[in-house]
Amino acid sequence: LSPPTSNRIMSAQVESNGASESNNNCVKDVRLLLLPENSTDSDGNPASVAFSAESHKKFIDDLTRTIDVGHVRRKRLWRVPWFILLMSFVQISLHWIASECMQKVLIFKPEWNVEYWRLLTYMLLHSDYWHLSLNICFQCFIGICLEVEQGHWRLAVVYMVGGVAGSLANAWLQPHLHLMGASAGVYAMLGSHVPHLVLNFSQLSHRFARIASLLILLLSDVGFTTYHFCHNHNRNPRTSLEAHIGGGVAGILCGFIVYRRLQPANQKAIYF
């Protein structure tokens, strides 16, 4: 190396050593300020060691707690509505693959009152693609936000109870009418919005938009059903008004039993 280059390197090393010594002196001054020299803890260990260990533990605890809280919030924020997705997948799949024999096993027929599985399995069947498409769209629109906010099993209970109530109401008031379709479960979820809003009205974002959209959906279905009854005399297809009403009432009552108040910490995780 040429003499000027060598001098510059030596000068840089001297400056680096000087900066390092300055930093060390600052750290030493802080330690001496916090912990007097020759001080010890209750076990006879140097106090600087105890102070360092305690600070390290507190830092790790705070970091872990922050990570845990963040994980919980992310989990709430991105909760996947598995129940609604699973039910929709099964209903679509069965509509494609179900044979006439399978439909006879799953459909609800009031005269077969000892085959109790039919109280629920009829909700997996649909008469045609139009019937299937409407119920899938409605149950996704109505149920996804409920499942995200109330959880999987609570919505599943409301859905199943509504289905059973709809089939029982149909068997009581229309004993000659065979039943298929998820309308009773959909109406149960629609009705369960009443207890959900009553319990958590102040915490739900877009609550007025939610109420307006649900009312529009309900009035549209009531209008279509009324037109179908008046114009087509409830033929082709036959609509079980009893199952709809039974499912809706069951959803309201069951929602007040199984739904919970959302914690204020969950507000950021609530969406419509």
Q: What is the pLDDT of residues 86-107, one digit of tens each?
A: 999 999 999 998 778 888 889 9
pTM of the model: 0.68
Locate all alpha helices (DSSP H) within 98-128, ordered by sequence.
100-106, 118-121
Per-residue confidence (pLDDT) for residue 74, from 0 to 100: 41
Catalytic entry in 88, 167, 183, 192: 183
3-state helix, strand, coil in the chain (%, to 5): 75, 0, 20
Per-residue confidence (pLDDT) for residue 167, from 0 to 100: 94
Strand partners, 40: 46
Q: What is the pLDDT of residues 185-203, one digit of tens each?
A: 999 999 999 999 999 998 8
List the chain domain ranges: 3-74, 81-269
Q: What is the mean pLDDT of the segment spanning 68-83?
A: 57
233 is catalytic: no
Residue 57's SS3 state is: helix
CATH number, domain 81-269, options 1.20.1540.10, 3.30.420.40, 2.60.40.10, 1.20.120.80: 1.20.1540.10
C-alpha to C-alpha distance for 124 and 89, rounded to whole angstroms: 10
C-alpha to C-alpha distance for 271 and 149, rounded to whole angstroms: 8
Per-residue confidence (pLDDT) for residue 61, from 0 to 100: 53
205 is catalytic: no
Q: What is the pLDDT of residues 112-137, one digit of tens each?
A: 767 889 999 999 999 889 999 999 99
CA-based nearest residue to 184, from 121, 109, 246, 259 = 246
Residue type, 42: S
